[in-house]
Amino acid sequence: MSEYRGYNGDSLKFLKVNQITVGDSVKILSDITYSGIIMPRYEHSDDKHIVLKLKSGYNIGLEIEKIEKVEKTEGLQKIIEKDEKVEKTEGLQKILLLSTGGTIASKIDYRTGAVTPVLTAEELNSSVPELAKIANIDAEVLFSEYSENIMPEHWLKIAEKINEYSKSDYSGIIIAHGTDTMHYTSSFLSFALAGFPIPIVLVGSQRSSDRASSDAALNLIGATKFIIENNTKGVYIVMHQDENDDTIACHLGTRVRKNHTSKRGAFQTIGDNPAFIITENQIQKNISKDFFQVNEFNPKINLDTKVALIKYHPGYDPKLLNQIIDNGYRGIIFEGTGLGHIGKIMYESVKKANEKGIFLGMTSQCIDGRIGMTVYESGRDLLDLGIIPLENMIPEVALVKAMWAIGNSQNTEEVKKIMLQNIASELTN
């Protein structure tokens, strides 16, 4: 039953004896007094603990043998959501907010304990009243997916929707997106919509909007301020700079990745400072004015997903690479060791791929630095086998760019030319 979800044995008996269920607000006397909401547990958890969500937003486990007293303060209350319309202010600039789901567009269902993508774009807008003082925001839901479920077909839908507003009177477009794959989406938009006349800003949160520690509101406010106060174009990711609430970082969409699983400052620009730093009083610019190579907008919203990202490691079986080749893949991005190496056990398969006209690109597993395949003999051997060094391109970005390049090209030589062309600062000095 859902009111006892995940509880069994002694813990289930404890809940029933004390006449409490998942979603009830309780006060518990143990080593100290705790107040919070009873949360569900994973189905295979032990039966010696209950889980309590504190007012701070964090969950704790309490051992039932050490609980002296339980007092139910109130039962589960259903909150009726109001579809509030935000009043527009004459004279403020306009921003379009597109919601795709993720934690920033989610809240906790205290009956099930799940973080669910149920907030509408309008709710997301109205839940942060500060936004209405900065800009007039129109909100629209494209879809509602956790970021691990965002696929290349979703990238196409996002790009096509944004392209509809290339001649609009919006000052910028904000995309609410889950964080796990946000840098993949920002990479595709950076290539497909290179030269777009207004800024495109992806924003997410590490913690859902109903948690006291949520970063959703501040990230949204930072993204909105950036669009209004900074006259620039391009694709960006805007997230917390660190665990403090004083600074929001604005990263180029092709030079960023998520480097921590849960910290609010999880996103970092690779190899440099964030493009912009946003504080309450100012926006600090850290990059030159010519950081985008494409100024004329000519959308190319196509891709081909037959591209593989291979992380080489000792013991990698080249039969796996052969399967990729035989399955008709048109591009392979290697995430090699150090300066761009893979073991000689791979050479025959690499030669086979090159002879079939498959694009072969090399990136590094190292977080920072540049490919250098002429330093060692092994690297030079790989160059002779047709692998193209991709400088300091981030592996995930190289994967997305190859999908996009192949989807917009006629042959491998054209793909090679595009992959080495610096389009959206994916390659830096």
Which residues have a catalytic role annotated? 103, 179-180, 258
Is 55 exposed, middle or buried (CB count within 10 Å of its CB: 0-12, 13-18, 19+)? exposed
Distance from C-alpha of 239 to C-alpha of 55, rounded to nearest angstrom: 24
Element (H, E) at 418: helix 412-419
Q: How far apart are CA 45 and CA 209, in angstroms?
A: 27
Q: What spatial distance separates the first Cα and last Cα of the chain, rounded to whole Å?
A: 59
Let me know the angle formed at the C-alpha of 282 by 163 and 277, rounded to the nearest 5 degrees: 65
The residues facing 28 across adjacent strands are 34, 70
Residue with tokens 């039962």: 75
Tokens 């395949």 correspond to what residue? Answer: 373
Count of other CB atoms within 10 angstroms of residue 286: 14
Name the pairing type of β-strands 248-252 and 256-258: unpaired
Sign of CA dihedral 148, 149, 155, 160: negative
Say if CB 330 and CB 359 are below 8 A apart.
yes
Sign of CA dihedral 344, 348, 354, 360: negative
What is the spatial order of strands in the sheet that 248-252 belongs to? 136-141, 94-99, 172-176, 200-203, 235-240, 248-252, 276-278, 283-285
**C-alpha span between 89 and 72 (Å, rounded):** 45
